[in-house]
Amino acid sequence: MNNSFLTIAMPKGRIFEEAAELLRRAGFRLPPEFDDSRKLILEVEEENLRFILAKPMDVVTYVEHGVADIGIAGKDVMLEEERDVYELLDLKISACYLAVAGLPGTKISDIAPKIASKYPNVASSYFREQGEQVEIIKLNGSIELAPLIGLAERIVDIVSTGRTLKENGLVEYAKIANVTSRLVANPVSYRIKEARITEIVERLAEIIE
Q: Give contact residues for other proteins (rule: CB under 8 A).
A: 64-67, 84-90, 182, 186-189, 191-192, 194-195, 198
| Smallest separation (angstroms) from other proteins to the CB of 2 | 11
Q: How far is the CB of 144 from other proteins (least distance, A)?
A: 29
Q: Which is nearer to other proteins, 4 or 168 (CB)?
A: 4
Rounded to the nearest whole angstrom, what is the least distance from the CB of residue 164 to other proteins in the complex? Answer: 27
Of the two residues 60 and 159, which places its CB atom closer to other proteins in the complex?
Answer: 60
CB-nearer residue toward other proteins: 47 or 194: 194
**Closest to other proteins by CB, 154 or 182:** 182
What is the rounded distance in angstroms from the CA atom of residue 161 to the CA atom of residue 122?
A: 20
Task: Mark residue 82 as left, alpha or beta (left: phi above 0; alpha: psi -120 to 50; beta: remaining).
Answer: left
Minimum CB distance to other proteins, residue 191 (Å): 5
Sequence-distant (≥ 6) Cβ neighbours of residue 48 within 8 angstroms: 3, 4, 5, 6
Q: In the complex with other proteins, which residue's Cβ is closer, 103 or 192?
A: 192
Closest approach, Cβ 186 to other proteins, in A, equals 6
